[in-house]
Amino acid sequence: MTEIDRNRLQNLLESEEKRFHQYHPKSFQLYQRARKCLQGGVPMLWMIRWAGTFPIFVNKGKGAHFTDVDGNKYIDFCLGDTGAMTGHAPDATIQAIVDQVNKGITYMLPIEDVIWVGEELQKRFGLPYWQFTLTATDANRFAIRMAREITQRKYILVYNYCYHGSVDETFITLNPEGPGPRRGNLGPPVNPIETTKVIEFNDIKSLEAALSPGDVACVLAEPAMTNIGIIHPDPGYHDALRQLTKETGTVLIIDETHTICTGPGGYTAAYGLQPDMLTLGKPLAGGVPAAIYGFTREINDRFHARLNLEDSDVGGIGGTLAGNALSIAAMKATLEHVLIESSYKKAIDLSNRFAKGVESIIAEFSLPWIVKRLGCRSEYWFRATPPRNGGEAAVAVDSELDRYMHLFSLNRGILMTPFHNMALISPDTTQEDVDYHTQVFREAIVSFLG
Ligand SMILES: Cc1ncc(COP(=O)(O)O)c(C=O)c1O
């Protein structure tokens, strides 16, 4: 089968939307109220993009599951889009949060636990110096600023269809008429071609050409792309990236925010990468806002040589609540007890099972689809072969089919990660959860193949 009957799919989508309405009367009521006080009826605009005609309001969650205000139960394969990769409300993190809350939440002074966290990050990622922010977006913004400051260069370099948070410089794509603002880039301060060079992932020649003038401060790279589907680096790509950045004096920043799904030290530790800087956020503190950026001794020394103590609070790096006591306490407990080797092993084994289940259905119906995996992250994609870069992956986006698969799953108690068909597995996900997904995935295929 290669052709999908689009009329049939549209009719099915409409009937799934009706079913969604039927099962979520309270969420609908709350949404009507929310629309009168919140932009788009949601606290953060992305939440209007979920499949379904309004967002589900959550009542409570624990581990790999949550319940909505209508009493519907869900297996959560979205896990707050990695923010809750630890599973919801992990016991050790909750205990640390409760203890710390009773002692104060933020002082703009360090607590002793932060040293344990810094030492732990050294061990995991191999970089000696660390700073804290509240979001991975900020970690990337500050890493870029440091790179620009020490190199005194104008450009950064990113990959086509990358995502690194709401960092202005990164919303650039290779458009038919050449590099330019990515579709949907809202209110950009300047055209990103003034700040950024963009190339395809896995293209060593373009990388060499972009870096050779010596005007790029940093490459900001996910070690494997994850935001336009999972795209693995070609063998040898990371060696070339490291060598070319070194030769041209370009700072290499590896963003591990999603690839932390690979293992306790992210992709960097698993594959022996040697970045100059590393950024990471989302699940670090079990869902409490917390993010980090780390760097080499050389970067540290070069930066400090240019830092004027008197101006350190107005230099565009930092934040009042960054490094707050609550985030640090939650991060310590999460790193010590939750994001550990044994949790990863369990989650990665189940992720394998998830991928095998979906692959078996794809094979049964001879669909031209593939499943891609990285650590505890699996994803099906509507093309027959793995894309090598963002441009190839973007061509295969099928928003209608995507929406249908999401809504079909949601209506049967499964929440997938939105905007692509990704399942993140937590240490609390069970074999039954995964097998139930395989069953529902099959039912979805049968429904539109007829
Ligand atoms: C690779 C990567 N970096 C950074 C971010 C930004 O994270 P946050 O929105 O928590 O700032 C994201 C968000 O999806 C991401 O995927």
Strands 370-374 and 377-381, bridge-based pairing? antiparallel
Packing angle between helix 431-449 and helix 6-23, nearest 10 degrees? 130
102: phi then psi, degrees, rounded to nearest 5: -70, -15
**pLDDT score for 2:** 58
Neighbours of 370 (CB within 10 A): 20
Neighbours of 224 (CB within 10 A): 22
Over residues 317-325, mean pLDDT: 96
At residue 386, does pLDDT exceed 60? Answer: yes
Identity of the residue numbered 43: P
> Does the beta carbon of 293 sit less than 6 angstroms from any atom of ligand 1?
no
- Tokens of residue 288, six digits: 């409490």
Q: How far apart are CA 230 and CA 380, in angstroms?
A: 9
What's the helix, strand, coil split of the chain in %, to 5? 45, 20, 35
Q: How far apart are CA 123 and CA 210, in angstroms?
A: 33
CA 429 to ligand 1 center in whole angstroms: 23
> Does the beta carbon of 290 sit less than 6 angstroms from any atom of ligand 1?
no
The answer to whether 185 and 196 have CB atoms below 8 angstroms apart is no
Over residues 51-55, mean pLDDT: 92
How does 132-146 read in b/e, with b if 16+ C-beta sit within 10 Å? bbbbbbbbbbbbbbb
At residue 1, does pLDDT exceed 60? Answer: no
Over residues 212-227, mean pLDDT: 98
Which residue from 142, 163, 225, 284 has its CB within 8 A of the most atoms of ligand 1, so it is best to mutate?
A: 163
Tell the residue number behind the tokens 């108690």, with chain if given: 413
Report the chain's mean pLDDT, rounded to a whole number. 96
| pTM reported for the whole predicted model | 0.97
Identity of the residue numbered 252: L
